[in-house]
């Protein structure tokens, strides 16, 4: 892990991730690491040897080292991480999950600059130990949404001046307005059919049941409308089983299936260009990557009024906000956009301008670097 110096001093960053799973948090870590590397910074990842991220890190060109993260205080793992820190001498350590935050705490005590991210909703009441690690375990805290920062400040007692809010970002060159017909042709969707999509893992909180309930209502008034469910879940999982049951029981009478399950897809930019509107009917959501992607693609969004969604989706400006679980309200908003393509286009244009102005990856990554530099400066103070 060798730092490169060219103009402004480049950073050596050690990212920690103790979670064995793959999700939005791990995806964001790799996107941040890749961006930093491309700009000449040095980035290394320390993660569990069975973590889902370890293989993906290699594919992304990010060097990964296996560290035992069996518990908050794992002496074998702590010794291995200490050896790595002594060898690589990072300018900053960036922790994201509970276990690795405790590991990072010991280096924070030794004066190493530590930054901690929080990507998920925080409970109002937390055990004393978890409150302690947020208040005293790092130099800077990064919240993925303002409401998470507010909880850190008001419920956990973290001083507001130590918190940086850095929401989701989007590559506005990768996600941009364009021709959506290739995806539509793949699934025999007419060019003039209103197309609504949900792009999310098949999990209970993502609101697939609300999406399907609204689709039934829309089809009564607009039988040409089409709906796509993009994403996968746990094989044989309850949500996927229930979605397939609903499709079989309640949408079987249509000559052409109005709801299409695509499974996991990598061509999300292509899909966004094909949609007329993205739908995010989540029951709870800290922050979402797909709404910035839709905006950058020039598409409006309909999202639940939960978590960090209202911080980027302005009702009546770049889309609509609905109450979570309200399929009737969702259907009404879908029908409104289907009946008024000009409104959908105006929303999409506002969304694109907002993405370019406030959500681009370069803007958010500059904020991340500034958070790192604040931590480094704070660690130098006596």
Query: What pLDDT is recorded for position 7?
Result: 41
- Picking from 105, 37, 97, the residue whose alpha carbon sits closest to that of residue 69 is 97
Q: What is the pLDDT of residue 230?
A: 97
225 inside domain: yes
306, part of any domain: yes
Does residue 58 fall inside a structural domain?
yes
What gap in Å lies between CA 268 and CA 250, rounded to an integer?
27
Does some domain include residue 99?
yes
Does one domain contain both 196 and 339? Answer: yes
The token pair at 237 is 């999982």
337 with 198, same domain? Answer: yes
Query: Strands of 63-66's sheet, edge to edge?
Result: 63-66, 42-47, 12-17, 92-95, 114-118, 140-143, 163-165
Shared domain check, 55 and 114: yes
Residue 31 sits in a domain whose CATH number is 3.40.50.2000
What single string gives the DSSP state of each residue in 66-132?
E---SSSS-HHHHHHHHHHHHHH--SEEEE-SHHHHHHHHHHHHTT--EEEEE-SPPPSS--HHHHH
Distance of CA 6 to the CA centre of its chain: 31
84 and 219 share one domain: no
Assess whether 159 and 195 both reside in one domain.
no
Confirm whether 174 is domain-assigned: no
The answer to whether position 175 is within a domain reads no
Tell whether 210 and 350 lie within a shared domain.
Answer: yes
Residue 72 sits in the same domain as residue 54: yes
pLDDT for residue 2: 41
pLDDT score, position 382: 67
Q: Which residue stretches of the chain have pLDDT < 50? A: 1-7
**Of the candidates 330, 230, 209, which has an alpha carbon nearest to the alpha carbon of residue 274?**
230
Residue 344: domain span: 181-359
Residues 94 and 25 in one domain: yes
304 in the same domain as 185 = yes
Predicted local confidence at residue 72, as pLDDT: 85
351 in any annotated domain: yes
pLDDT in tens, 213-247: 999 999 999 999 999 999 988 777 899 999 999 99
Domain count, the chain: 2
Same-domain pairing of 261 and 121: no
Same domain, 366 and 265: no
Domain annotation covers residue 176 = no
- 198 plus 146 within the same structural domain: no
Instruction: Tell me what pLDDT residue 6 has.
Output: 39
């Amino acid at each position: 892990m060798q730092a490169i110096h060219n103009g402004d001093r480049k950073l050596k960053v050690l990212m920690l991730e103790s979670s064995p799973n793959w999700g939005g948090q791990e995806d964001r870590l790799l996107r941040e690491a890749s961006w930093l590397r491309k700009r000449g910074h040095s980035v290394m990842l320390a993660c569990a040897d069975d973590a889902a991220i370890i293989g993906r890190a290699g594919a992304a060109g990010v060097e990964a080292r296996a560290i035992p993260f069996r518990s908050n205080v794992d002496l074998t793992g702590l010794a291995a991480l200490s050896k790595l820190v002594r060898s690589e001498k990072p300018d900053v350590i960036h922790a994201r999950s509970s276990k690795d935050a405790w590991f990072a705490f010991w280096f924070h005590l030794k004066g190493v600059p530590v930054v901690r991210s929080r990507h998920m909703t925080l409970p109002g009441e937390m055990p004393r130990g978890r409150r302690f690690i947020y208040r005293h375990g790092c130099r800077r805290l990064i919240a993925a949404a303002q409401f998470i920062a507010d909880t850190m400040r008001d419920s956990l007692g973290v001083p507001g001046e130590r918190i940086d809010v850095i929401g989701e970002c989007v590559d506005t060159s990768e996600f941009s307005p364009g021709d959506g017909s290739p995806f539509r042709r793949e699934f025999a969707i007419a060019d003039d059919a209103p197309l609504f999509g949900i792009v999310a893992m098949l999990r209970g909180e993502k609101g697939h049941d609300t999406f399907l309930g609204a689709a039934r209502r829309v089809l009564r008034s607009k039988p040409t409308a089409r709906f796509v469910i993009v994403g996968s879940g746990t094989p044989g999982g309850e949500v996927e089983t229930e979605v397939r049951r609903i499709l079989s029981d309640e949408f079987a009478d249509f000559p052409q299936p109005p709801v299409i399950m695509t499974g996991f897809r990598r061509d999300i930019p292509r899909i966004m260009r094909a949609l007329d509107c993205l739908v995010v009917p989540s029951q709870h959501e800290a922050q979402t990557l797909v709404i910035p992607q839709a905006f950058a693609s020039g598409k409006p969004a309909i999202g639940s009024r939960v978590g960090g969604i209202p911080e980027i989706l302005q009702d009546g400006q770049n889309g609509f906000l609905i109450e979570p679980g309200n399929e009737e309200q969702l259907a009404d908003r879908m029908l409104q956009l289907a009946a008024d393509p000009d409104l959908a286009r105006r929303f999409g244009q506002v969304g694109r301008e907002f993405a370019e102005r406030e959500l681009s990856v370069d803007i958010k990554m500059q904020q991340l670097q500034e958070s790192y530099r604040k931590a480094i400066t704070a660690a130098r103070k006596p």
